[in-house]
């Protein structure tokens, strides 16, 4: 049974505002009467920073207005601050490509001003954006840049935040020992600065890491220290999270009375702040505790409230956990109908989460591509500015021209060698294809014809006929496989069309023999340029999926389609058969083979199955 564990990694987007509370309305009033000078730029910057988290769109408008005025006044310091806060607002909206564009502009302006403190913030925010994209290498590189400027500014607050970010990077990589170490170092700096609020957060992060390493007592101790520190400064916002995490750790230790006591504290603070997610999570903790105590009616009541709360707030992962608790509680209480109902809901939510994860991965890849593309454009612009400052332009351009000629020559030689190698491979493939067809193929054809003739003889005994029937079947199967091998090896000038016709013919022949309706939408293959490996992988995965459907699923319809999204080709095989449990499948190596074939070419194979049918999705880069 999964337990809900709150996670707070304080990689907060940093904005340039004062630390003390500020009345937003008073700033808006000041803005209305302010003159178009540097003070008005400051007001725009401050408002963009203050409302960024609650209203990112409004913050972006304030920040852009400040940029416009700052550029009119040619006040680079104000421009740098506005760039930083606009980037943060886009970060809160999860528009990371735009956030990257503005943060890079903030870095350029801050370098002009020569402000190491602001540069440390800018690089730290950039590291956070890369971490959200799961590009941990680039995130660490930007943490290193932020650290260098924090050293120049001799700013321990910046150092501590950088250490927290590095700890978060290691946590997301499941390197919990390293994550704990960096949070401890950050906590030491916060303690020296007297920043009890942030020190409490680092203690919570350490507790979360200790939970993942099964050090439950130590984790609880850190959460309790975090509560004590937060209580000293009156920061009660995270109390529900802290007590909820303590309860989760007590559950893992089977100390259910203590778990219930802390779940109740978590509920009280969640109600105090009217936080619906935390309220639902507290109910989920009670549902788990009561289930372990065999109080099934109470478990069902609490878990039902958790389920409804998570459903209302569209928190599907937490909703799925609550459904698991309900399914088990109903089952143990003897209500198998409701147990099956919630087990089905849990399975449906699990499938939805898996699909969302796949879509998120694709979206992250696209966002990462856009970010890298914009970073490249910015790098080229910066390089152009630097070149304009050089006095010896002719020497630089001459050197670049010689470098281009040298590179072109190297590329020409490399391509020439590749062409020669390709010609040799083509000759070898043609030779192998001819040998297989003329020698092995002809031998198998003879075996096939002889076994057919022997089987037709009236003098054959029943046992002989049965053996001859097997010989006929095996020979035919071997010929089909040999035909596939010859087809995959043999060079063809129209690979895509040939692959389409072969797949369509196979699907029709296999389905027609069993009176199964089928449809093949693969016209896109005619326009694709596929390598031999890609062609082979698509065809064999397609055959395996169709054969599995016909052999195990007893479908009435099979639909095969080929589509392309950006630089990925997608093969989808959908049947309406009886489906199977993918996680516990023991039918052989077929599913593993399909996944491995796609993985070898940098792609992936996803298999989604339920009582309504099975869908196999194979994606390959082209």
pLDDT 10s digits, 490-499: 655 456 788 8
Side by side, the strands of the sheet bearing 604-610 are: 517-521, 557-565, 568-575, 613-621, 604-610
**H or E stretch including 606?**
strand 604-610
- CA–CA gap between residue 383 and residue 366 (Å, rounded): 26
In a domain, 359, yes or no: yes
Confidence band of 444 (pLDDT split at 50, 70, 90): low
Cα–Cα distance list, 56 to 87, 286, 493 (Å): 10, 36, 54
Confidence band of 367 (pLDDT split at 50, 70, 90): very low
Is residue 362 domain-shared with residue 452, that is, in the same domain?
no
Is residue 332 domain-shared with residue 446, that is, in the same domain?
no
The per-residue pLDDT for range 499-537, each reduced to its tens digit, is: 888 888 888 888 988 899 999 998 988 888 888 788 888
Domain boundary among 99, 124, 154: 154
Confidence band of 477 (pLDDT split at 50, 70, 90): low
Is residue 110 domain-shared with residue 98, that is, in the same domain?
yes
Q: Which residues is 617 bridged to in the sheet?
A: 572, 606
Q: How many structural domains is the chain composed of?
A: 5
Rounded (10°) CA dihedral 95, 100, 102, 107? 160
- CA–CA gap between residue 273 and residue 262 (Å, rounded): 17
What is the span of the domain harbouring residue 199?
Answer: 156-235
**H or E stretch including 56?**
helix 56-73
Which residues fall within 8 angstroms of residue 618, CB to CB, at 6 or more apart? 537, 538, 541, 570, 571, 572, 594, 598, 603, 604, 605, 606
Sign of the C-alpha dihedral, residues 371, 373, 379, 385?
A: negative
- CA–CA gap between residue 109 and residue 507 (Å, rounded): 62
Q: Is-contact 210 180, C-beta < 8 A?
A: yes
Q: Is-contact 218 210, C-beta < 8 A?
A: yes
* Torsions phi, psi for 520 (to 5 deg): -125, 115
Task: Quote the pLDDT of residue 314.
Answer: 85
| Polymer length in residues for the chain | 622
Cα–Cα distance list, 555 to 507, 518, 576, 590 (Å): 13, 10, 5, 18
Residue 530 DSSP class? -
- CA–CA gap between residue 457 and residue 467 (Å, rounded): 13
In a domain, 7, yes or no: no
Task: Quote the pLDDT of residue 209.
Answer: 93
Domain boundary among 119, 136, 154: 154
Segment among 9-18, 60-69, 278-287, 343-352 with least mean pLDDT: 9-18
- CA–CA gap between residue 312 and residue 277 (Å, rounded): 9
Is residue 380 domain-shared with residue 255, that is, in the same domain?
yes
pLDDT at 455 over 70: no
In a domain, 8, yes or no: no
DSSP letters for 305-351: HHHHHHHHTT-HHHHHHHHHHHHHHHHHTT-HHHHHHHHHHHHHHHH
- CA–CA gap between residue 130 and residue 140 (Å, rounded): 9
- CA–CA gap between residue 88 and residue 81 (Å, rounded): 11
The per-residue pLDDT for range 411-433, each reduced to its tens digit, is: 877 877 777 777 666 664 665 56
For the residues 202-223, what does the mean pLDDT come to? 94
Is residue 223 domain-shared with residue 300, that is, in the same domain?
no
If you search the block for the tokens 């564009």, which residue do you land on? 101
Is residue 471 domain-shared with residue 521, that is, in the same domain?
no
Of 92, 95, 60, 65, give the one whose Cα is nearest residue 78: 65
Q: Which residues is 557 bridged to in the sheet?
A: 517
Task: Quote the pLDDT of residue 217.
Answer: 94
Cα 225 to chain centroid, rounded:
34
Higher pLDDT, 353 or 94: 94
Domain boundary among 457, 491, 525: 491
Confidence band of 13 (pLDDT split at 50, 70, 90): low
Residue 605 DSSP class? E
pTM: 0.53
Is residue 430 domain-shared with residue 482, that is, in the same domain?
yes
Q: Is-contact 159 143, C-beta < 8 A?
A: no
CA angle 5, 15, 361 (to 5 degrees): 50
CA angle 42, 44, 48 (to 5 degrees): 115
Indicate the SS3 state at residue 208. Answer: helix
Segment among 238-247, 377-386, 414-423, 591-600 with least mean pLDDT: 377-386
Residue 605: which region, alpha, beta or left (left: phi > 0; alpha: psi -120 to 50)?
Answer: beta
Is residue 428 domain-shared with residue 367, that is, in the same domain?
no
CATH number for the domain harbouring residue 178 = 1.25.40.10
In a domain, 209, yes or no: yes
In a domain, 83, yes or no: yes
In a domain, 243, yes or no: no
Task: Quote the pLDDT of residue 490.
Answer: 62
- CA–CA gap between residue 163 and residue 180 (Å, rounded): 10
Is residue 505 domain-shared with residue 622, that is, in the same domain?
yes
Is residue 85 domain-shared with residue 56, that is, in the same domain?
yes
CA angle 524, 529, 530 (to 5 degrees): 100
Segment among 20-29, 71-80, 304-313, 408-417 with least mean pLDDT: 20-29
Task: Quote the pLDDT of residue 4.
Answer: 43
Is residue 90 domain-shared with residue 189, that is, in the same domain?
no
Is residue 199 domain-shared with residue 263, that is, in the same domain?
no
Q: Is-contact 581 590, C-beta < 8 A?
A: no
Burial of 529 (0-12, 13-18, 19+ CB in 10 A): exposed
- CA–CA gap between residue 307 and residue 323 (Å, rounded): 7
In a domain, 396, yes or no: no
In a domain, 2, yes or no: no
Residue 14 DSSP class? P
């Amino acid at each position: 049974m999964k337990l809900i564990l709150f996670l707070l990694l304080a990689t907060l987007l940093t904005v340039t505002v004062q630390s003390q509370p500020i009345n937003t309305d008073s700033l808006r009033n000041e803005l209305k009467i302010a003159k178009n000078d540097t003070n008005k730029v400051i007001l725009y910057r401050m408002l963009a920073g203050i409302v960024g988290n609650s209203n990112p769109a409004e913050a972006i408008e304030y920040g852009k207005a400040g940029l416009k005025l700052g550029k009119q006044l040619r006040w680079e310091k104000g421009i740098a601050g506005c760039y930083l806060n606009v980037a943060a607002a886009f970060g809160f909206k999860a528009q990371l490509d735009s956030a990257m564009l503005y943060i890079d502009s903030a870095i350029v302006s801050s370098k002009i001003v020569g402000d190491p403190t602001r540069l440390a913030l800018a690089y730290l925010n950039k590291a956070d954006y890369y971490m959200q994209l799961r590009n941990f290498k680039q995130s660490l590189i930007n943490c290193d840049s932020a650290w260098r400027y924090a050293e120049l500014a001799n700013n321990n607050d910046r150092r501590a935040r950088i250490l927290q970010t590095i700890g978060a990077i290691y946590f997301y990589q499941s390197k919990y020992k390293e994550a704990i170490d960096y949070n401890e170092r950050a906590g030491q700096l916060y303690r020296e600065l007297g920043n009890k609020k942030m020190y409490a957060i680092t203690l919570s992060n350490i507790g979360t890491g200790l939970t993942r390493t099964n050090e439950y007592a130590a984790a609880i101790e850190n959460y309790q220290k975090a509560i004590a520190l937060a209580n000293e400064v009156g920061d009660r916002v995270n109390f529900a999270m802290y007590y909820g995490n303590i309860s989760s750790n007590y559950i893992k230790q089977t100390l259910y009375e203590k778990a219930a006591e802390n779940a109740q504290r978590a509920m009280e603070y969640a109600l105090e702040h009217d936080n619906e997610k935390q309220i639902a999570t507290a109910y989920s903790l009670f549902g788990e505790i009561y289930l372990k105590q065999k109080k099934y009616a109470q478990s069902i009541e609490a878990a039902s409230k958790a389920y409804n709360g998570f459903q209302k707030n569209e928190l599907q992962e937490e909703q799925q956990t609550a459904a698991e608790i309900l399914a088990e509680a109903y089952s143990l209480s003897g209500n198998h109908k409701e147990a099956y109902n919630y087990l089905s809901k849990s399975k449906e939510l699990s499938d939805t989460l898996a699909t969302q994860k796949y879509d998120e991965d694709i979206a992250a890849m696209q966002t990462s591509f856009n970010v890298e593309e914009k970073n490249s454009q910015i790098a080229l612009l910066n390089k152009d500015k630097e070149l304009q400052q050089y006095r010896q332009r002719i020497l630089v351009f001459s050197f670049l021209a010689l470098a281009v000629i040298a590179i072109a020559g190297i590329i020409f030689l490399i391509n020439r060698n590749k062409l020669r190698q390709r010609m040799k491979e083509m000759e070898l493939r043609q030779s192998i294809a001819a040998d297989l067809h003329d020698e092995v193929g002809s031998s198998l054809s003879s075996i096939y014809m002889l076994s057919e003739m022997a089987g037709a003889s009236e003098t054959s005994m029943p046992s002989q006929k049965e053996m001859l029937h097997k010989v006929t079947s095996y020979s035919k199967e071997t010929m089909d496989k040999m035909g596939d091998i010859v087809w995959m090896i043999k060079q063809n000038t129209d690979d895509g069309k040939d692959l389409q016709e072969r797949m369509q013919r196979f699907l029709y022949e296999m389905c027609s023999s069993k009176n199964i309706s089928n449809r093949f939408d693969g016209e896109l293959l005619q326009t694709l340029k596929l390598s031999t490996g890609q062609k082979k992988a698509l065809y064999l995965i397609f055959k395996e999926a169709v054969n599995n459907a016909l052999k195990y699923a007893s479908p009435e319809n099979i639909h095969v389609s080929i589509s392309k999204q950006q630089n990925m080709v997608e093969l989808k095989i959908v049947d309406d058969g009886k489906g199977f449990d993918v996680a516990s499948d023991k039918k052989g190596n077929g599913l593993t083979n399909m996944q491995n074939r796609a993985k070898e070419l940098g792609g992936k194979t996803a298999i989604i199955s339920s009582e309504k049918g099975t869908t196999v999705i194979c994606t390959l880069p082209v």
